[in-house]
Amino acid sequence: MSICLKYITIENYFNVLNLEVQPNQRNFIASNSISLAEAYVYDKNGDFIVPLAVYDEEVLVGFVMIAYDQKIGISKGNYLLFRFMIDKRFQGLGYFKPTMDAVIDFVRTEPAGKATSLWLSYEPENNQARSCYLHYGFKETGEVIENEIVAIYDLTTKN
């Protein structure tokens, strides 16, 4: 397994749009078409947001979207893992950890500025995501944003 993150381009965007999660996961994550539309709008608003395709060598296996802002609270000067999805065909095959490692490596390059944390949020009912994130090293903060549980990863630690 050799995971790399690649920018969305004219060559791969349609394949990214066709990635899907399992039917029982659809209520927990926006579709990739919504995510790419959000990325476009946020970018046009001057925000840093980058949608990335997840590849195992040349095979597209997932999609992530990373943001950074200077607003208030937990988001101030930290990165946000806005989206994380592995296509249903590749779930359960060990892609979570190496994909998360690639996300952490990308964020540590400080593409939008310095940060000490990567944060995310998930629905309280999404036990699978919660388990994966906590096992990886994210810590729940006790905060709730838009009815989602907030968890944070300390970028100053080695993964």
Q: Greater confidence, 100 or 146?
A: 100
When pLDDT is averaged across residues 10-39 and rounded to a whole number, the result is 93
For 122-127, the CB contacts below 8 A with 24+ separation are 122/28, 122/148, 122/149, 122/151, 123/27, 123/28, 123/147, 123/148, 123/149, 124/148, 124/149, 125/28, 126/25, 126/28
Structural domain spans, the chain:
3-154
In this predicted structure, the answer to whether residue 86 has a pLDDT above a threshold of 70 is yes
In this predicted structure, the answer to whether residue 73 has a pLDDT above a threshold of 60 is no
CATH superfamily of 3-154: Gcn5-related N-acetyltransferase (GNAT) (3.40.630.30)
Q: What is the model's pTM? A: 0.92
User: Which segment of 8-12, 18-22, 68-72 scores lowest on mean pLDDT?
Assistant: 68-72
In this predicted structure, the answer to whether residue 76 has a pLDDT above a threshold of 90 is no
Q: Greater confidence, 145 or 102?
A: 102
When pLDDT is averaged across residues 112-141 and rounded to a whole number, the result is 94
